[in-house]
Amino acid sequence: MACYYYVPFQGHCSFRNPTLSFSLNFNFINTTHHLASSFKPFLRELEYVFRVDVLKAAVKNTSVKLVDAFVDSAFQFVDYPLDPSQTNAASVDEIKEAAFITNIHGDIPSEFPQGVYIRNGPNPLFGGLKSTKSVFGDSSPIWVEGEGMLHALYFSKDINGNWTVVYNNRHVETDTFKLEKLRNKPSFLPAIQGDPFAVFTSFLLNLVRFGKPLKNISNTNVFEHSGKLYSIAENNLPQEIDILTLETLGDWDVNGAWNRSFTAHPKRVPGTGELVTMGIAATKPFVEVGVISADGKELVHKLDLKLDRCPLCHELGVTKRYIVFMDCPLTVDVNRLIRGGKLIKYESEGNARIGIMPRYGDAGSIHWFKVKPNCTFHIFNCFEDGDEVVVWGCRALASAIPGPDPGSKEFAWFPTKFKPAPGKPFEDAISEDQLLFHRPYEWRLNVRTGDVKERNLIGANNFPMEFPMINGAFTGLKNKYGYTQVCHCDSISATGSMGRFGGLAKLFFEEQNTEEGSIEVEYHMFERNTYCSGAAFVCKEGGAEEDDGWIITFVHHEDTNICQAYIIDTKNFLNEPVAKITLPCRVPDGFHGAFMPIQLLNKI
């Protein structure tokens, strides 16, 4: 899903577990200091022959090599288990050269804009995710990890109206990607879930060896700001991408002004073009929000929310005047890990609230609204309606993050939690098999009176829906339509990994159906054993109405192992796709996609 997510550790940590007697015989960090101190007189004699910093680097390199040798002897990397039925989870190679597409069934509409459809997703560098076994216990990644790979379709039209379509893919080459590729072996120890002592030890060893505890996977989303394309996962900074070659150009830190993680779903403010982001961390300040200028050159405002915990908030919202923050009881807690608990945990009875803050406000100006406990990763939209701020999102009563540990008793039945209980009202969700059923949901938050109104937007018997999207021109403004991927419950992998999406839905927010209180929904379901990812809305050139456009998405046919891109007319949503574009290679399941309009004539 996007995304999904984990956050960077920051600050200094200590660890003591009285139930464990194992300890390292020496402190790797202090070793460098003591060794350098012992040789100070000798170093002074040689400083005219050798540069001191060279010797210091040699001492440091020796220490790192000692740690590497220890890791190699104490830790064994093993493949993270995958369900054999999930044929589209395996990694693919870069194709090296962009490929022209010749197999197109149907017609690309003449009003379809030139541009690039690009989707991000995990594509582990060494063939799959790796867990570890060690004297400290077992540790494993969560199912959303894996180095990011971009998959792009380029649409170019000549003066005669003839279309040229080109496909390309490429890994996002972050600093940690380059490091492991140079070593040609898995090197970062998984440090998210597993035995608490193993997780914490892995975190420390990564920090000592590489200067950071977690890899920068950059595998969740792509976004555009001020004409530049960025790849992002919210545990690090965005990576600027050359949109024509997919080459990674480096970190984007807003000219040094933003020095922390960056949400996978920044939002552009209606009217001003400013970009709103947030960064979460496992130590204070837990959450900071930033406003970036429309030209992307300046951080014009920064706000510490002054939270007392680190919530795994994946997406924020904007309106004309406000920023909307979802504080759900899915948290990262290092102290909990130290006490022998989980680093990431969802508290089903925990406090949940939504914060509404002026765009240039401070912590004292945030209006907090207490809401029913929930886990909401993704938002359709937010907008102002009189005194109310309306928030539409995909809400669940449990979290698919981090998911069960591989080999645990939960592992086998985890997927059934995506299924609704037939004929049972969803508000009575007391059964395990309903908890991960994401449904479109509405919060109405009155900034004058403090009143909160909540409701489900669809009936209990609808399919689970996730990865919401709208016409981006209506971000922060009142809109009529939304779109989602539809979860195909019977096909979810026994690994508890990504849900399989067997169709798409169009939501009519202003139209009621016969079921009291619910809105009208249209479903575009795919052929049997066909699943999509990275769906995005494409605006029609010259379109006059909000739903003038198309949904484009990559699909995988499991029976044939063929991948295509479908283009679906949103005005005629129930019809067959107007075009099915057969790709030259498989595109693995992934997360978020986007369409970037750009003139490509003579560029591809």
Per the DSSP assignment, residues forming a β-bridge with 327 are 353
Reference 441, options 517, 492, 548; nearest CA is 517
Question: How far is CA 68 from its chain centroid?
Answer: 30
Number of residues written out for the chain:
604
Q: Which residue reads 């979860």 in tokens?
A: 487
| Residues 118 and 384: beta-carbon distance below 8 Å | no
Upstream peptide bond of 402 is cis (omega within 30 degrees of 0): yes
Which of 594, 472, 576, 471 has its CA nearest to residue 536?
A: 594
Annotated ligand binding at 33? The verdict is no
Distances (CA, A) of 209 to 69, 134, 176, 483: 11, 17, 12, 44
- Number of neighbouring beta carbons within 10 Å of residue 17: 13
Angle at CA of residue 388, ends 383 and 393, nearest 5°: 50
Strand blocks (E) in 457-561: 465-469, 481-487, 501-512, 519-525, 530-539, 549-557
Spatial CA neighbour of 392 closest among 375, 376, 370, 369: 376
In this structure, the number of other CB atoms found within 10 A of the CB of residue 271 comes to 9
Other beta carbons within 10 Å of 431: 13
Tokens of 506: 């169009």
The three-state secondary structure class of 535 is strand
Q: Is 592 annotated as ligand-binding?
A: yes
Q: What is the dihedral of CA 46, 51, 53, 56, to 10 degrees?
A: -40
Q: Is 151 annotated as a binding residue?
A: no
**Do the bridges between strand 299-304 and strand 322-327 make them parallel or antiparallel, or are there none, so unpaired?**
unpaired
List strand residue ranges (DSSP E) for 90-212, in order.
99-100, 104-106, 115-122, 130-134, 137-140, 148-157, 163-171, 193-194
CA-CA distance, 223 to 236, in Å (whole number)? Answer: 15
Residues near 506 by beta carbon (within 8 Å), at least 6 away in sequence: 481, 482, 483, 521, 522, 524, 547, 570, 573
391 torsion bin: left (phi>0), alpha (psi -120 to 50), beta (else): beta
Any idea which residue has 């609808």 for tokens?
Answer: 462
User: Which of 90, 168, 87 lies closest to 123, judged by CA?
Assistant: 90
Q: Is 597 exposed, middle or buried (0-12, 13-18, 19+ CB in 10 A)?
A: middle
Q: How far is CA 97 from CA 104, 169, 249, 353, in A?
A: 20, 9, 19, 48
Angle between helix axes 196-210 and 52-74 (nearest 10 degrees) is 150
Are 20 and 163 in contact, with CB atoms under 8 Å apart? no
Phi, psi (deg, nearest 5) at residue 346: -100, 125
Does 225 count as an annotated binding residue?
Answer: no
What is the SS3 assignment for 382-400? EEEECCEEEEEEEEECCCC
User: Residue 81: what residue type?
Assistant: P
- Provide the CA 465 distance to its chain's centre, in angstroms: 17
> Which residues contribute to the annotated binding site for Fe cation?
265, 314, 378, 592
> Which residues contribute to the annotated binding site?
265, 314, 378, 592
